[in-house]
Every structure is written in C-alpha cells, then in structure tokens.
C-alpha cells in the first residue's frame, strides 16, 4: 500500500533529533531562495527504484560456503550510497586478512563498486559479477543525498549493529569528501528540513548531527517554508549516473574484470573460481540467500528539467527536492513490500503537485 508522502517525509527523511547544545542560535539572516518550477510539463523522466530494506538493518557478516569465504554486504535501505564506502570497508576487513588469490564481488551498484575498489586498493585482483551494470542498477535511481534515511526500524537492531552503523557512516563521510568535484558528480549543498524537538539523550541516531555541518535553526518568517521552524545544514549530493560511470571506469583502469551473469542459487556462487566472494546483491539476496527479512521498498521520483539557479535542497511534508546537473529530483514514496519497479502516473502527479503547492506559497524571509 502506498505510504502518504507527507507522513513519509516527516518520518523517513526528517533529521535525527538534536541535542539543544548541538544547535546554533536562531538565525536572523534574510533568505530568499528561488522556488522549484514543479510542473508536469517540465518532467523529463520518471523512475521507481526498489530499495533493499531490512527492518533489522544492513548485513555485514562473514560466512563459509563450500570451502569459500563469503562476506555479505547488503540491505542498506535508503542509505545505500551514503553508507556504501563504510560498509564496504567493514566487509573488506572481514574478508581480506589472510586471503590469497583473486576476489569476486557480486553486484555492480554503489556498494559492490565500493567493495571492489577497496579490494583493488589493497592489492587484490578483482572480478565483478553482475546481471546488470549502471545505468541499469537501483543505485542509478537514487537521489544521492549523503544522509542515511530509512536504514532500520527502531527496536529491531542491536548495539553491535549500531557500532557498525557508526563506523560505516564515519568512513563514508570522509571518503566522499575527497571525491567532491565534477569528476565524480559530488557537490555540497545547503539543505533545509523541518526542525524537530529533541527526544533526549536516548536518540540512537543523535550521532548523525556530526555529519550535518553548519546546522542552524531558523524560526518561522526567517525562511520561505511557511509557519514552521526549519533547520539548515550542509551535506553532499551525488549525481548518481556520473558517479557510477566514473566508478566503473576506475575499476577497469585498475585491471578489474567484469562478467555479466546471474546467480540462481548459492551453488552457483560456490562454483566461482575465487576463494573469497563478497555478496553485494542488494535486494537479490532475498532470493539468492533466502533472507526473509529483506524486502523491497519502492521509491518513485519525478525528474524535472534542470534549474541552474537552484543551489539548495529541501525535504519536508511536501516531499524532497535535490537539484542536480542532470535534472531536479522530486520525491518520493516509501512503499514497503512493493516489487513492481514501475513509476505510477497518479503517484508521480501527486509528487509534482505537492512541490507545486509549496512553490505557490513561497515567500522571502523578512
């Protein structure tokens, strides 16, 4: 069943609660941001991606498979690109020590490519096995904001998993910073979201405020988003098509080999010639390795003609807007258990209408 966009954005895309001491005093500066031109006539493409979501969080774990070492790295939900370098570093740490010979990576999305590159940087020959390459991967459809959202259900994760989460976010944050620029399509943008009341010291994601620099709280009237408090912070955004294309090129320049094939069962994986295999199949792990906790969560996007004057992003009850060189991304939906990776015209029209409604009430700060 379709989740209402307003409730989705308020919960899945809202910032983690912040301790009062982490906030800058209410800003007094004038802000006059250009609104997005949200019109169906400006839609250049519509897409729907199936996020590989696990209520109990992503999996980074080593198993044995027919004499091989099998390291899982999948199930990132709405944090696949954001956490890709970090969980790949954790996976590499489980697989590479003591290994000799070639390495296999299954899956060519952001997670698989990061895993493959880290293995190459450690000096190993890597073969990338995938049934599809970019742009035919879920990662290509992602909005690309470097903020993890919808990664787990509260009450379903362990302290040990949270240790992995924190370590993954820290490494990814540092890795993306050294890739900023046009080559990889990664850029910083100021981002706006509704302010939330602090929930106290027990908020498990309070640590994420360290990765939202320049956070400032603005009262109603000091921003164009209506009669609500807002926060503004800075984060990185990835133009996913350019990023994945460059990652493939880097992999091949480093001597990586690509084999296009599908895997029907663990026995197919066990038959690979490499003694170490990294499973980065995302949603494919549901069927390939019988992970019943892994489910698809469909996210639909409308992409508008580029608006170069947009130099900010936002998320709120209206949806989210990320401006990129290849188009203005408007989202989105969070539909659990939906396996149909096709955009639905009625939902797309609703997404555009919500942003158009926001634009119609846009006001400069006073």
Report pLDDT for 197.
Answer: 58
Segment 216-227, tens digit of pLDDT: 999 988 899 988
Domain ranges for the chain, please list them: 5-53+186-238+296-360, 59-145+240-293
Structural fold of domain 5-53+186-238+296-360? D-Amino Acid Oxidase; Chain A, domain 2 (3.30.9)
Nearest to 291 by CA among 299, 279, 276, 300: 279
| CA–CA gap between residue 244 and residue 251 (Å, rounded) | 10
Cis before residue 135, ω within 30 degrees of 0?
yes
Q: Which runs of consecutive H residues, i.e. helices, occur in the chain?
A: 5-12, 80-95, 110-121, 159-177, 240-253, 266-270, 285-288, 345-360
Give the pLDDT confidence of 42-65 residue by residue, as tens digits: 999 999 999 999 999 999 999 999
Name the band, by pLDDT with cuts 50, 70 and 90, for residue 171.
very high
Answer yes or no: is pLDDT of 24 > 60.
no
> CB neighbours (10 Å) of residue 358?
21
Superfamily in which the 59-145+240-293 domain is placed by CATH:
NAD(P)-binding Rossmann-like Domain (3.40.50.720)
Task: Compute the Cα dihedral for 74, 79, 80, 82 and give only its sign.
Answer: negative
Reported residue count of the chain is 366
What tokens does 125 get?
A: 């020959």
332: cis peptide before it, omega within 30°?
yes
63-109: pLDDT as tens digits = 999 999 999 999 999 999 999 999 999 999 999 999 999 999 999 99
CA 144 to CA 153: how far, in whole Å?
21
The candidate with the shortest Cα–Cα distance to 294, out of 74, 95, 147, 122, is 74
């Amino acid at each position: 069943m379709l989740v209402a966009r307003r409730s989705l954005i308020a919960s899945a895309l809202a910032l983690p609660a912040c301790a009062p001491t982490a906030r800058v005093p209410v800003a007094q500066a004038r802000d006059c941001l250009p609104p997005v031109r949200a019109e169906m006539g400006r839609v250049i493409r519509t897409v729907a991606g199936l996020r590989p979501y696990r209520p109990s969080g992503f999996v980074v774990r080593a198993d044995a498979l027919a004499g091989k070492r099998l390291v899982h790295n999948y199930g990132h939900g709405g944090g696949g690109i954001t956490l890709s370098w970090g969980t790949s570093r954790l996976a590499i740490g489980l697989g590479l020590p003591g290994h000799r010979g070639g390495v296999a990576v299954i899956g060519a999305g952001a997670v698989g490519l990061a895993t493959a590159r880290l293995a190459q940087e450690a000096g190993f020959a890597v073969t990338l096995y995938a049934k599809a390459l970019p742009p035919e991967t879920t990662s290509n459809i992602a909005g690309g904001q470097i903020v993890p959202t919808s990664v787990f259900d509260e009450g379903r994760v362990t302290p040990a998993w949270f240790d992995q989460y924190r370590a993954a976010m820290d490494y990814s944050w540092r890795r993306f910073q050294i890739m900023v620029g046009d080559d990889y399509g990664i850029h910083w943008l100021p981002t706006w979201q509704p302010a939330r009341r602090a929930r106290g010291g027990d908020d498990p994601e309070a640590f994420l405020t360290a990765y939202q620099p320049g956070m400032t709280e603005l009262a109603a009237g000091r921003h164009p988003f209506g009669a609500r408090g807002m926060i503004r912070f800075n984060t990185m955004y990835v133009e996913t098509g350019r990023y994945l294309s460059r990652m493939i090129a880097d992999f091949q320049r480093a001597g990586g080999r690509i084999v296009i094939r599908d895997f029907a069962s663990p026995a197919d994986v066990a038959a690979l010639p490499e003694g170490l295999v990294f499973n980065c199949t995302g949603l494919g792990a549901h069927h390939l390795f019988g992970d019943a906790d892994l489910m698809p969560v469909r996210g639909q996007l409308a992409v508008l003609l580029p608006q170069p004057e947009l130099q900010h992003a936002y998320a709120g009850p209206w949806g989210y807007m990320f401006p990129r060189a290849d188009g203005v991304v408007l989202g989105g939906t969070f539909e659990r258990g939906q396996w149909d990776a096709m955009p639905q015209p009625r939902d797309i029209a609703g997404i555009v209408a919500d942003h158009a409604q926001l634009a119609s009430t846009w006001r400069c700060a006073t």
